[in-house]
Amino acid sequence: MTLFKVIIWILILKYHPSKGFPPDALTGSAYYTKHHADITDFAIRIAVGRFITENNLTVIDDDTDVINIVSNFFGDDSDGYEKFVEKQKEIVENVQNQEKSKEAHIHCNSEQIELAHNHVIKLRGQIKELAQSAEPNISLIREMIGKCIYTIQAFYSGTNWVEMNGDEVYNDFGVPNKTLMAIAGATVDTCQDCDNSGTKVNSCKNNLLVNDMLTSGYQTGQDVQPPYKTSGDIGKGKCGFGGSDDTENGDRTAKGGINKDRLDPKYSPHHHLHYKAFYAARKATELFLRDEDIGIINELNVDTFAQIFGLVKRYQASFGFVIDDTGSMGPIIAQVRKACIDFVTNVLGTPNAPSNYILVTYNDPERHRLRLMTENGVDMISALDNVTVNGGGDCPEYAMSGLQKGIEMSKEKSTIFFFTDAPAKDALENQTVIDAVNEKNIDLKLFLQDYMCSRRRKRESGGRKKRDVGSDAYSLVAEGTGGTVYRFNTAQLGDIIRQISEEIFPSATAIVDMFKLYPEDGDLVLFPVDNMLNNVKITVTGAYSEDDVDIKSPFGSIMKAENTSVLFESPDKVVVTVLNPTDGIYKVNRTGNNNWSVNITAQTSVDFHYAITVEADDGNLYKVLGNPIIGERYTLFFTVYNLPVGINASSLRLKTSNSTTNYLNLVQVTGDFDSTFFVSTTLTSDQYEVSLYGTDSSGNTWMRTSPYFISPATIRLTLNSITDLYKNTVGNVSYTVENKGSENETFVVDVTDNRALLTGQTSFTPLISSNGSTGIIFQINGSSLYNTVTYNITVRKQGSVNILVHDSQTIYISPDIAPTCTVEKLVGKCDALDATSCSGVTWNGQATITYITELSSISGSTGWNFEISSVHSSPINISASGDCCTPSAYLTVTDKNSNFARCHFYLGNVLPIENSKQLLSRSEQIAIGVVGGIIGGCLFATLVTGILIYRKAIKPKLGASKINTVKSNSYPHQEKCDSKEQFNNVTADLN
């Protein structure tokens, strides 16, 4: 292959992201452009506010603005509000990341409106199934909601709906059992050349030719393209996307376009309709979420919708632990004890502490034992610390009996955590448990070890692994009560408990600071207390007793003061709470010389969340998925909750693993709901602790610290693709591992999952050169027993146990088997042809469609023909044909459940080559050839003159497609260039 062709292939294979509204706010003169984050944030506030009102979840005054209903719902529960905002941002980030998603790339432009419609319907069906399962994955539901919202919003910015209907919502789009209005067919010209009819240059007010059917623009670099125009009215054709990024606009479309993504006329030909598209997209997003006729609320129940957005009010109810204490729990009982004790420690002394605690254990033959019911959290910690295992023998235990006792002792609207590694011996009593839970409206969390004891024994004895019949009792209880099943391994338990406890019963605390003290360090550490803090808690791990700890306020030692309570001492921990503290600088003093880990928290409504973003090829900032890379530059965005008016966040502290501290000034961004700040920096360390600083209303420093570290790495792990996963089929997952370090290294890449569904190779040891990369592909079986599978992929250096980077993804397992479309034969070659001769070269091909669910449609992209052998049974044979004006053609097959498959007939490159300093565009090559034949003579003059003629004279007047009909006598300079002087005169005239 020649160098010329290699470059062409590089240009073709480069991925071109789909276009829509910008993912986030633009700067400078484009500041007022609306974006996906703005649309989604506002729509969620309205939808959730109306949901709260319609379900009477709180008392709302008649004059309360709908966007303030959410904050009114939470009231003083600042942590509850913070959790809501995190859920909101999770959905917004899923919307934003679709901008560069290949899945979104399929469903946006190029008149693929029916496909986008079915895409949303398919996702809604998956959301419904997940929501109704015994183990709903709420995070995956949020991801699917984000995908739906992106496609819905792109519909209003990219199609001609707004041109026809203004800011009205199209209530049929993306809604099951609805048929869309007519979409322009392959031979229908939908636009004419833009005539700059707007008030600004590049405006296109009157270029649409259709007002009774849907169409959308075709864009440079997208896989589906209209055929070349070689005859007819060359001033008409399919609509382009338009704008500065649509570099080959007019070559195969009408000049201009219809996108309404931005207010900038250089980017959006229909910029004058940007705000109408925004209002329509925002209203459509709101209705998608909560409308009683077309909203996703119809696929969910009220409780699930509330869980998706974290609408959980805090009640002074019981908090119960029901723990299996039989012998088989021995390997995990220490982790269970620690997780539960840490949780109680976190809520002690906070406004959200439960009214009482309950501890029940169960065994065999002992059905249950009430260990403790108390209002004293310290007593509960002691009881938990004394839980040991004994007895058992056979695997199943009296789980239902233990649950019944815990429920009996709990108040209404309580939360119960249940832990076991065994099936239920009394599984038939599950309905009794279901009725008791529902009567008291208890939130039930069932924690089951990944490998129940009977499965473990079968595995150890060489038996087959299968799902235990006895464990189905837990799924039945969860399904009947709205409870949740969490399957865990020992290493995961602590993190799972922490995350879930924060969700359902948070400590309402923010971290002020955290640090470690080693023997060689100084014994005195300062920390600020501002006037927005209450109940400051200092937890010292490594202290033997309170005698080892001295806390000093601005007025001296407070360890013996009346407003201080020592919550408890344990062999390795002391917890001190300062009630109603005076603001100022406090001191923690170590009186011994042992290692300390200190965590300082407090009650406050002011806290923050951060996201790491990086600039992509399209110039937009996207959230970094995974670890950032050491030595690269990133922009950090900070959302500060409930920051009072007049108080600002001024600086960021990044403290490295070797205690080096960097201070950076923050820049504020105006937001609708919370205060947002950003800073750009190069990350050069392997770990950073993140803290924000500012000044309170009294002039004292306020400080908040994130519990989540920034951990840059020298390895970049990039997810390339995840195929759709169907029951009883195998799907591929593909990653790229890049070594950004300075040395060649051998790495170990391990893949695990929570369902034992991985098949084939799951461990890889590639040698990757410095700045090199390698691909990793692994397979997952689709199971008929589950509707999701979560895998984890980790990368470490060979010989080390330290994980450098990791990623985790949850995949939906569809109960449907999607259709397939396979190209069996393709005859023809379009490579190296130009637009003047493409219609004279034909191609033909054959494809096979297989399906199980009845098909709803078989459709093709524009400019080619296909014939179907039969539509009555699978397989279906397809005969395809076309000419080289359509060298890339797609056949799309959709079944009744909105699953789809595509065949790609690709015959080579006839597209104009992308603008490049190294390469000429295809249209310029045509111009050069024509001019060269006319002028002849000196080759260099012909080349340059041809380019100049095309760019200066022909293209602006006629459009790129008109080059096909230009005669030789149409050119203004036909003389032969016999001298350098004559050549200079020719080029001077053109300039």
With a cut of 70, say whether residue 379 has pLDDT above it: yes
**Which of 461-470, 484-493, 586-595 has the highest mean predicted lDDT (pLDDT)?**
586-595
Of 167-171, 700-704, 897-901, the range with the lowest mean pLDDT is 897-901
Q: How confident is the model at residue 281 (pLDDT cuts 50, 70, 90)?
A: very high
pLDDT of residue 829: 84
- If you search the block for the tokens 């070349």, which residue do you land on? 228
Q: Is 385 exposed, middle or buried (0-12, 13-18, 19+ CB in 10 A)?
A: middle
With a cut of 60, say whether residue 336 has pLDDT above it: yes
Residue 130, SS3? helix
Q: How confident is the model at residue 943 (pLDDT cuts 50, 70, 90)?
A: very low
With a cut of 70, say whether residue 424 has pLDDT above it: yes
Mean pLDDT computed over 524-548: 87
What type of residue sits at position 897? N
pLDDT of residue 198: 53
SS (H, E, C) 655-702: EECCCCEEEEECEEECCCCCEEEEEEEECCCCCEEEEEEEECCCCCEE
Which of 219, 212, 108 is closest to 157 using CA atoms? 108
> CA separation (Å) from 940 to 327, 390, 945?
88, 92, 8
Measure the CA–CA gap between 907 and 598, rounded to whole angstroms. Answer: 65
With a cut of 60, say whether residue 651 has pLDDT above it: yes
**pLDDT, tens digit, for every residue of 74-94?**
877 777 788 888 899 889 888
pLDDT of residue 847: 92
With a cut of 60, say whether residue 13 has pLDDT above it: no
pLDDT of residue 922: 37
Mean pLDDT computed over 361-368: 82
Please state whether 86 falls in left (phi above 0), alpha (psi between -120 and 50) or beta. alpha
pLDDT of residue 830: 84
Quote the mean pLDDT of the chain: 78
With a cut of 50, say whether residue 942 has pLDDT above it: no
pLDDT of residue 351: 62
User: Who has greater pLDDT, 217 or 673?
Assistant: 217
With a cut of 70, say whether residue 923 has pLDDT above it: no
pLDDT of residue 203: 66
Q: Are 36 and 24 in contact (CB under 8 A)?
A: yes
Which of 386, 384, 392, 385 is closest to 328 using CA atoms? 392
pLDDT of residue 58: 76
Which of 474, 478, 592 is closest to 542 using CA atoms? 592
Beta strands 415-420 and 688-695 are unpaired
Q: How confident is the model at residue 435 (pLDDT cuts 50, 70, 90)?
A: very high
- Angle (deg, nearest 10), helices 430-440 and 399-409: 20
Q: How confident is the model at residue 463 (pLDDT cuts 50, 70, 90)?
A: very low
Enclosing H/E stretch for 279: helix 274-290
User: Who has greater pLDDT, 840 or 148?
Assistant: 148
With a cut of 90, say whether residue 777 has pLDDT above it: yes
Residues 6+ apart with CB under 8 A from 250: 193, 240, 256, 959, 960, 961
pLDDT of residue 247: 73
Residue 10, SS3? helix
- Following DSSP, what letter does each residue of 487-519 receive, concatenated? EE-GGGHHHHHHHHHHHHS---EEEEEEEEE-T
pLDDT of residue 250: 76
Residue 849, SS3? strand
Of 90-104, 124-138, 219-233, the range with the lowest mean pLDDT is 219-233
Residue 38, SS3? helix
**Which of 285-289, 728-732, 894-898 has the highest mean predicted lDDT (pLDDT)?**
285-289
Measure the CA–CA gap between 750 and 792, rounded to whole angstroms. Answer: 8
Measure the CA–CA gap between 444 and 481, rounded to whole angstroms. Answer: 8
Mean pLDDT computed over 344-358: 76
Mean pLDDT computed over 158-179: 92
pLDDT of residue 732: 94
pLDDT of residue 335: 83
- Following DSSP, what letter does each residue of 754-769 receive, concatenated? SSS-EES--EE--EE-
Which strands sit side by side in the sheet containing 888-895, from one edge to the other? Answer: 855-860, 888-895, 900-906
User: Who has greater pLDDT, 344 or 789?
Assistant: 789
With a cut of 70, say whether residue 474 has pLDDT above it: yes
Residues 6+ apart with CB under 8 A from 294: 171, 175, 287, 288
Mean pLDDT computed over 680-685: 91
With a cut of 80, say whether residue 503 has pLDDT above it: no
**pLDDT, tens digit, for every residue of 547-593?**
888 888 888 887 666 666 666 676 678 888 887 788 899 999 988 78
Q: How confident is the model at residue 502 (pLDDT cuts 50, 70, 90)?
A: low
- If you search the block for the tokens 């439960």, which residue do you land on? 354
pLDDT of residue 752: 93
Mean pLDDT computed over 919-931: 38
- Angle (deg, nearest 10), helices 399-409 and 472-481: 30
Q: Are 51 and 292 in contact (CB under 8 A)?
A: no
Return the structure tokens found at 260. Answer: 């309404």
Which of 192, 207, 251 is closest to 226 using CA atoms? 251
Residue 747, strand partner residues: 797
Residues 6+ apart with CB under 8 A from 767: 744, 745, 746
Of 123-137, 282-296, 467-481, the range with the lowest mean pLDDT is 467-481
